[in-house]
Amino acid sequence: MAAQDRFADPAKVLRTVFPVAETGFDPAAARDLYSNAIIEAVFERLYGYDYLASPARIIPEAAAALPEISDDGLTYTIRLRKGLHFTPDPAFKGKERELQAKDFIYSLMRLMDPAIASSHRWLLEGKIIGLDELAEKARKTGKFDYDAIVPGLQASDPYTLKIRLHRPDYNLPMILAYTATSAVAREVVEKYRDGQGQVMANPVGSGPYRLTEWVRGSRMVLEANPGYREHYWDSDPGADPEKQKIARQMKGKRIPQIGKVIVQVILEDQSRLLAFQKDETDLFQLYGGLAPQVLQDGKLKPEFASKGVQLSRIISPELTIYYWNMQDPVLGGLSKEKIALRRAIAMAHQVEEEIRIVDNGQAIPLQFPVPPGVVGHDPQYKSSIQYNPAAANALLDRFGYKKGADGYRTLPDGSPLVIRFTSQTESRGHLQAEVWKKTYDRLSIRMETDFRPFSEILKAEKQCQLKQRISPWMADYPDGDNFMQLFYGKNIHLNNNGCVSLPEFDKLYEQSQRLPAGPERDALYHKMARLMEAYSAQRIGFARYFNMLAQPRVIGYQKHPVMHIEWPYLDLDLDTKR
């Protein structure tokens, strides 16, 4: 084997950056994108995605093959690869620990443990026979029985997992490819768990990398897992010439080629770009604030292209929404005057202006809750809420939000009307606050700004403690269900950050979950979107472009729409100087 093709060459060090700090690496507990990126590298799931296939295509990961599904769609039989092992850890007491079906059963059970309070439990709630009953028992007794027999989660032998469902779930393979369903070892959890049962440090998985250094909020070092299964690069490039080039460069190489990945947390945009320009970083996500310095008309400027810098650019399968806390005494509620207030604010906000100022045009406005690149997207849909500040002011006048002597509006009862807008402490958060201040000024509504670190925002909104925020959601899996669940009443304290509960919407959502993708489900999605507009519970915003820069030495990079990281599928040309 040629030197450049050796498995996990320690001389190959990939350097990249996160724009916000990670929170921890427990698959059941982590909520943020950046923690999940590390989880994806360290742990394995039953399924993953073909690196180059478009549209996104499920392939086996820890599973040996795609699931065998019964004719009624209620039983999934999944056979695991043999010989997969967790990385060595004191929790295993010096013994080699093989990954088996029982580990996936344990890991799925953890998502439903009330003590862990996983924000991912919605993935399994109401689906697997016996699992909800076990979780309910734990809520009453204060202890989750991991030794209990769950009829819907059985291992007929160490390498065969059977999942039995209450009803067909057409998204189950994609759910089993999501980081929250990664396999963790019970021994590791019991050795390192905190009082809540979470293991945010000491991640021990069977994936291509292991975490060897962690300075919280600053630096993470991952080294290739020497015990990682024998896995060779083989991906379907289709007819795309750029992907075909990648396939020619990488096909047949053992995964991973790169021996070490160093991740630094750099909060400020300009500092991240400077690190890339000084060749201190190999991969760099170019957010909109910096785009004019690097891109022109969606392409690299000559000074970057001439140096061999690579650009991978896609519309991210994401939805940025503007939410108002539906439990807040000022903004929440379903009375006519509350709906009028939210609708007026929504009509006074110019999404295109925000895209221009905050993201320098590196986003597209959306009308529908399901974004492009996701099954269920409708490019012809037009929202009933459009920018119209004159109509917005007339609506406030009609429902008694009068202007006081100071020029600002009051509530209908005459008390002060103040909206508290929460945003991140970084420069992007300040720009967002400036844009929203203009929105509220158009309505003569007083706005206060609440700047907080990202991790604090996540905790507060999960408890319905914020009044208003701009909230982005990237696809866990590329299906409309993953976006419509953001507004489902039972997902309050999980992913429903606006804390909205509309019984009519919830009924339609539950109906949609019983249907495969297609016209019948699409019709329900349309009704659900109109309901959200009628109550102005949320305002649909935009999807950003994902601009990823790579240094000339990086081989094989293509931004994947769903995977958090591409590191295992890359190589580095050691002959290209740093």
Residue in the block written with tokens 């030197």: 3
What is the pLDDT at residue 3?
Answer: 40
φ/ψ of residue 48, rounded to 5: -140, -160
Identity of residue 297: D
Between CA 211 and CA 89 the distance in angstroms is 12
Cβ contacts of residue 266 below 8 Å, gap of 6+? 17, 18, 19, 272, 275
pTM of the model: 0.87
Q: Are 79 and 65 in contact (CB under 8 A)?
A: yes
Identity of residue 344: A
* Ranges of the chain whose pLDDT falls below 50: 1-4
β-pair type (363-365, 538-550): antiparallel
What is the pLDDT at residue 577?
Answer: 67
What is the pLDDT at residue 5?
Answer: 63
Between CA 250 and CA 232 the distance in angstroms is 9
Buried b (16+ CB within 10 A) or exposed e, 403-419: eeeeebbbbbeeeebeb
Between CA 385 and CA 346 the distance in angstroms is 7
What is the pLDDT at residue 2?
Answer: 43
Identity of residue 465: Q
What is the pLDDT at residue 269?
Answer: 87
Q: Which of 430, 549, 515 is nearest to 73 (CA)?
A: 515
Q: Which of 395, 375, 510 is nearest to 445 (CA)?
A: 395
Q: How many Cβ atoms sit within 10 Å of the Cβ of residue 200? A: 18
Q: Are 127 and 164 in contact (CB under 8 A)?
A: no
pLDDT in tens, 338-360: 999 999 999 999 999 999 999 99
Q: Are 54 and 65 in contact (CB under 8 A)?
A: no
Residue in the block written with tokens 């009628």: 534
What is the pLDDT at residue 4?
Answer: 46
Task: Give the CA diameter of the chain.
Answer: 81
What is the pLDDT at residue 488?
Answer: 96
What is the pLDDT at residue 402?
Answer: 97
β-pair type (68-69, 468-474): unpaired
Between CA 188 and CA 185 the distance in angstroms is 5
